[in-house]
Amino acid sequence: MKPHRALNSLLAKAALRTDSGRKGWQARAAAVLPGGVNSPVRAWNGVGGDPVPIASAKGARITDASGRMYVDMVGSWGAGIAGHAHPHVVSAVKRAAAKGLSFGATTDGEVLLAERIRERYAPAERVRLVSTGTEATMTALRLARAATGRDVVVKFAGCYHGHADPFLVAAGSGLATAGVPDSAGVTASTAADTLVLPYGDEEALTAAFAEHGDSIAAVISEAAPANMGVVAPPAGFNALIASLCRNEGAVFILDEVLTGFRAGPAGYWGVERDAAASGIGPVWTPDLVTFGKVIGGGLPVAALGGRADLMEQLAPVGPVYQAGTLSGNPVAVAAGLATFDVMDAAAYERLADAADAVREGVTEALMAAGVTHAVGRAGTLFSFFLGLDKAPLTFEQVSAQDTKAFVSLFHHMRAKGVSLPPSAYEAWFVSLAHDEKTTRRVVDAASSWRP
């Protein structure tokens, strides 16, 4: 580096460490990026204050532009399952990058990643790699509509399936935080083809099929809802969706973009499959399934998979068009493959231990402080609902939580060096890097909170 460049870079770094430097970045972000962000869940509208831009992250820790370090409980919204900058993942990415960034032709890595997904997740008989979860769910619905010749999609209030028009009706995640039931710019005719039901309501689902069965192309559901806080599916609910779809000629799209390879080694479907194998609950299979987040290990990879006869209706074999310039990008795929390497059976046990430690420790802390709360849990995913005394099932029940208390908890945890998701409607994410020391730090921080 030339001397003056080195000096400039030092000065820039020093400037970032000062409050005015940090505010400078926040102001610049807000002046050029709407809301200062490229995805609304990153904004602090739900908790107040201004997020400081992130400079770097390593393992379970994240460092902001002012040099403050936090235990990270966001983990790129679940994508960072192995921990930030895991050496095996980083070196795989470097090696892939050195071989070329993108070719516009199939690579061996894409075949390997699709095979990995199918090995762990048998219902994904065929796989198409895309770049975002939104593309995966959007394509799954197009495929379902083509295969059935029907228009209507059934979704559950509070479930988030990305930002394609048909799903922006009573969605969770950023929309739940903002309290926006719907998005401007979605046409009435699009919304009319989306039927929204309360989550977990077997009667409502059965009635919807009785009334609209002939026009229902698909039912889409998060395998376990995790975008309105974490909601455990009631026993047999996923199985009921599967059997109604089968009997009525509709397609069951299981959205595992968040839960896939996170709730357990075979997603939340795997959690229920294993339970069924030990005699708890029925065996069921989705027709189509969507993945994202974990399968890219922090780079943009998502996928849809499912029954071969459905998947083979995708172009170029069949009439359903779907494409992507950067689909199956070799560098992104390398990150996904390396993440699968790291996430072996022992790793999932460690992940479960970390999740248990935080969930149980924070629960005890809240109990000791006399804070009314409920815990939502699905495999290694969990969240807390302050002010509720019973784990909620529907979005309506979730919405009764005490979001003011969460705001207080959020800022307290931050002051204690723990970075929670900036919303009461999100899961708390652990990674492989969340060791005993780290999880104790989170629990200790929660222990000193008084609402």
Ligand X SMILES: *Cc1c(COP(=O)(O)O)cnc(C)c1O
Q: What's the min distance (Å) between Cβ of 443 and ligand X? A: 26
Q: Could you confirm whether 255 is annotated as catalytic?
A: yes
Ramachandran bin of 67, using left for φ above 0, alpha for ψ from -120 to 50, beta for the remaining angles: left
Q: Please identify which of the residues 70, 72, 121, 160 carries the catalytic annotation.
A: 160
Q: Does 224 contact ligand X by CB under 6 A?
A: no
**Active-site choice (255, 348, 402, 425):** 255
Beta strands 302-306 and 126-130: pairing type?
antiparallel
Site for ligand X in 184-223 (CB under 6 A): 222
Q: Which of 257, 337, 420, 446 binds ligand X (CB under 6 A)?
A: 257
By the rule CB under 6 A, 329 interacts with ligand X: no
- Residue owning tokens 């430097």: 21
118 Cβ contact partners less than 8 Å away, ≥ 6 residues apart: 124, 125, 127, 305
Two tokens, residue 78 = 């679940």
- Which residue out of 64, 268, 293, 425 is catalytically annotated? 293
Query: Could you tell me which of 391, 398, 337, 356 has the C-alpha nearest to residue 173?
Result: 398
Does 293 qualify as catalytic in the annotation? yes
Please report how close the Cβ of residue 78 comes to ligand X at its closest, in angstroms. Answer: 7
Draw the binding track, 299-318, toward ligand X (x: CB under 6 A; -: no contact).
---x----------------
Kindly state whether residue 160 participates in binding ligand X, applying the rule CB under 6 A: yes
Task: Tell me whether residue 135 or residue 402 sits nearer to ligand X (CB atom).
Answer: 135
**In the complex with ligand X, which residue's Cβ is closer, 222 or 402?**
222
Kindly report the three-state secondary structure assignment for every residue of 39-78: CHHHCCCCCCCCCCCEEEEEECEEEECCCCEEEECCHHHH
Measured distance CA(136)–CA(256) in Å, rounded? 10
Size of the site for ligand X (CB under 6 A): 14
Q: Given CA atoms 239, 240, 245, 251 in this order, what sign does their dihedral have?
A: negative
Q: Which residue is nearest to ligand X (CB)?
A: 133
Question: In a 10 Å sphere around its CB, with 0-12 CB exposed, 13-18 middle and 19+ buried, how is residue 450 labelled?
Answer: exposed
160 counts as catalytic: yes
160 versus 284: smaller Cβ distance to ligand X = 160
Q: Which of 61, 84, 155, 161 binds ligand X (CB under 6 A)?
A: 161
Q: Which of 417, 342, 345, 431 is nearest to 381 (CA)?
A: 431
Closest CB to ligand X among residues 171, 365:
171
| Cα–Cα distance for residue pair 331/288, rounded to 1 Å | 26
Contact 219, 154 (CB under 8 A): yes
Q: At what angle do helices 108-120 and 330-342 cross, to 10 degrees?
A: 40
Q: Which is nearer to ligand X, 162 or 443 (CB)?
A: 162
The smaller minimum CB distance to ligand X, of residues 107 and 134, is found at: 134
Residue 258 within binding range of ligand X, rule CB under 6 A = yes
- Which two structure tokens, joined as six digits, stand for 297? 């290990």
- Least distance from ligand X to the Cβ atom of residue 173, Å: 7
CB of 51 to ligand X, least distance (A): 18
Question: Between 257 and 433, whose beta carbon lies closer to ligand X?
Answer: 257
Question: Is the CB of residue 81 less than 8 Å from the CB of residue 297?
Answer: yes
Alpha carbon distances (Å) from 362 to 259, 366, 383, 432, 448: 22, 6, 10, 19, 11
Does 292 engage in binding with ligand X (CB under 6 A)? yes
Query: Which positions from 129 to 158 touch ligand X by CB under 6 A, shown as an x/- string?
Result: ---xxx--x---------------------
Q: How far is the CB of 23 from ligand X (least distance, A)?
A: 29
Binding stretches for ligand X (CB under 6 A): 132-134, 137, 160-162, 222, 227, 255, 257-258, 292, 302
Q: Any idea which residues carry the catalytic annotation?
A: 160, 255, 293
